[in-house]
Amino acid sequence: MIEQSIRTKALQSTALTSLIERNFHLTLNHNTDDNYVLLRVIDDPVEIDTHMQNMQVDATIQFDCFSKDPQRAKDISKALDNIFNKQGFKDTYLNVQLGLKQRRFFDVDTDSNLFRESSDYIFYYNEV
């Protein structure tokens, strides 16, 4: 569920939407061929305490920022950094205390021939 909250938060940023419009995808099944973000949930465990209540968890999320223009791929990634790195947010479902960027890499995706800037984040959150 964290992926939908992250997507909603990201698309509230005019800096990001000026780069990708609303092309922020949660699955590989999309028809966008330039200037988009693909979010992948790498790990999102559910932890329950002894009182059967959801505890704070840490989810590992990967953002893949794609573009035909290498600088634009980097700009998309930077816009995501400005939204999430060392930031928290709250919505109807989640209270994200902190997002922390862990690593990034830049390459060319051989399947799409698009430049890709990928960033891994850890989000610390609990359900509201």
DSSP 54-115: B--EEEEEEEEEEESSHHHHHHHHHHHHHHHBTEEEE-SSEEEEEEEEEEEEEEEETTTTEE
Whole-angstrom distance, CA of residue 3 vs CA of residue 76: 18
Which positions ≥6 away from 127 have C-beta within 8 Å? 1, 54, 93, 94, 95
Whole-model pTM over 0.85: yes
Strand pairing report for 87-90 and 57-67:
unpaired
Minimal CA–CA distance to 38: which of 100, 109, 86? 109
pLDDT digits (tens, 9 = 90+) for 8-32: 999 999 999 999 999 999 999 898 9
For residue 128, the model assigns a pLDDT of: 84
Is-contact 40 26, C-beta < 8 A?
no
Enumerate domains of the chain plus CATH numbers. Answer: 2-127 (3.30.2000.30)
Q: Which of 13-22, 59-68, 77-86, 103-112 has the lowest mean pLDDT?
A: 103-112
pLDDT at residue 56, rounded to an integer: 82
Residue range 98-127: average pLDDT? Answer: 94
Quote the tokens at residue 72.
């634009």
